[in-house]
Structure 1
């Protein structure tokens, strides 16, 4: 509980959105915990330094953990396959240090949650922007990660359950084992399955969590309402946001029901239907490795539909301008939308 409170208050402190009472509580936590002190100093140094661009979140986050004295174990390379990296790159498409720090802070809640297993039994897979990767877990479960995602899992499952932690987006094809349920922990939910295939989208900077079931069944438990559970059947889609949750159906790109929008990223496509502009912008950040800032908040809620695969970011924005009225300006590695 204290670790989650520390992470929440740390994010608020770095962003400047913290009350006097919360500052007092944060100072109390840091003063009484050496680990919190090290983590705060390590992350603060990245947050307050000059705007130096970094190539990817992985090297920064690894450095943060090293400076904080946290030892992490990387998964064996034989089990991991990088599937795709976006072919088109631009010199100005980089992530500024402040943005990376925000992602790292949000991810840290899950990266250090597995306390019961020894450090050398835990593996971790991270993906860069514009890349996806696949890993086969020890039970035969296949997990495919989308861009800027983190999966933490035991090298060997022991005990009554098989538990992993996800920050980002992943497609899970879970090996069937009725005696040992498979549980995926995210920021907003815990997904419990026996043997099934589903897609989870749980990025810390997205306003909503999504779970889409393709085969079998899954049971979702909301972290803020642990006594309630939601059962999904094939083609169901669970959406969780600040207003609660809703059950809907998976999204198809056309009337033939042959292309699924939720898993199009596995074929290196970006498909969206009636998606708010701000959520689409987050997807563009992950695909192209840039920073997007809305100067007109009214544009965030505009619903957009489209499909992109090999287009560069400027081609995407020009296409969107055809269907909705907005302007944009490129400054360094940041796109301002107004």
Structure 2
């Protein structure tokens, strides 16, 4: 999957199809890497008193610092406010959560359904927000009682001690699965390779996978997953069928 610079489309709207990624520069110089199956838009007055964009899908932002004009990213679940920083936002409508992963600087995340609920992230922290989130918890919380949907504050995951955070390896053309179920992996494969994936048998959907694929093709990824997941697969043009 190749990455290439893309100029904003008419109306300041940029989208990427499944199987592709884009890189663009906003009018203030901010760099944006847009993952597959994603889109970003901004108004014509972006260089005015505020810098605001709307995101559906996943993007990595390297924001130019401007103390007088905060940079705000609007998603369906949260708003992310920054001055100058680098971070990743993942907010696909078909997924259950929105993730904000901070690499450097500082960001403030506001819950859309509760403007008074704000979380300030520090470098290497990640906030995972359920679409109907109502409370905040930490990974270390020992309370195992059933709770309403939550916002979970955790750490970004470095697969190796000095490696780039797993959450942003997609910008390096690396496909990463970090304890994800086969059902989640299937959706990632659909966006990454521009295919349709069908899983036959619900018992397969909950098998978990962890791994990094560096510019591997679809067949190579499926073969590796098959070895650890004990399933079979068929590829028919742009459709993948996974069977027990």
TM-score w.r.t. structure 1 length?
0.61
Please give the alpha-carbon distance, in whole angstroms, between the structure 2 residues aligned to 1:160 and 1:148: 30
Within-5 A mapping of 1:61-76:
none
- Name the SS of the counterpart of 2:227 in structure 1: helix
Residue ranges of structure 2 left out of the alignment (5+ in a row): 132-148
More helix by share: 1
**2:12 paired with 1:81:** no
Confirm or deny: 8 A CA contact 1:206 1:282 kept in the other structure. no
Alpha-carbon separation, structure 2, partners of 1:275 and 1:155 = 39
Partner SS, residue 204 of structure 1: coil
Give the unaligned 5+ runs of structure 1.
Answer: 1-79, 83-119
Matching residue of 1:76: none
How many angstroms does 1:326 deviate by? 2.2
Give the C-alpha shift of residue 194 in structure 1: 1.1
Residue 190 of structure 1 is matched in structure 2 by 79
Q: Please report how far the alpha carbon of residue 267 of structure 1 lies from its aligned counterpart in structure 2 after TM superposition.
A: 1.2
The answer to whether structure 1 residue 289 and structure 2 residue 183 are counterparts is no
* Distance in 2 between residues matched to 1:223 and 1:297, nearest whole Å: 33
Distance in 2, Cα, partners of 1:332 & 1:266: 27
1:162 maps to what in 2? Answer: 51
Q: Larger Rg: 1 or 2? A: 1
Distance 2:231 2:115 in 1: 42
| Higher percent of residues as strand | 2
Using the TM superposition, give the Cα deviation of residue 199 of structure 1 relative to its aligned residue in structure 2, in angstroms.
0.5
Task: Give the structure 1 partner of residue 118 of structure 2.
Answer: 229
Counterpart selection for 1:322 from 199, 217, 227:
227
Alignment of 1:114-129 (within 5 A): 122-129=11-18
C-alpha distance in 1 between matches for 2:206 and 2:112: 26
Tell me how far 1:257 sits from its aligned partner: 2.7
Q: For 2:31, which of 127, 133, 142 is the aligned residue?
A: 142
Query: Residue in 2 aligned with 1:245?
Result: 151
Note closer, same or farther for the CA distance 1:259–1:180 as it changes in structure 2 (3 Å cut).
closer
Instruction: Give, in angstroms, the shift of residue 124 of structure 1.
Output: 0.9
Q: Residues 293 and 224 of structure 1: is their aligned pair in 2 closer, same or farther, counting only changes over 3 Å?
A: farther
Q: State how far apart, in whole Å, the 2-side matches of 1:207 and 1:328 are.
A: 26
Q: Indicate how the Cα distance of structure 1 residues 309 and 336 shifts in structure 2: closer, same or farther if over 3 A, else same.
A: same
CA RMSD of aligned residues (A): 1.9
- Alignment partner for residue 310 of structure 1, among 202, 209, 215? 215
Q: Taking structure 1 as reference, are residues 142 and 181 closer, same or farther at Cα in structure 2, changes over 3 Å only?
A: same
* Distance in 1, Cα, partners of 2:181 & 2:49: 41
Output the CA distance in 1 between the equivalents of 2:21 and 2:35.
5
Paired positions, count:
220
Residue 299 of structure 1 is matched in structure 2 by: 204
TM-score normalised to structure 2 length: 0.83
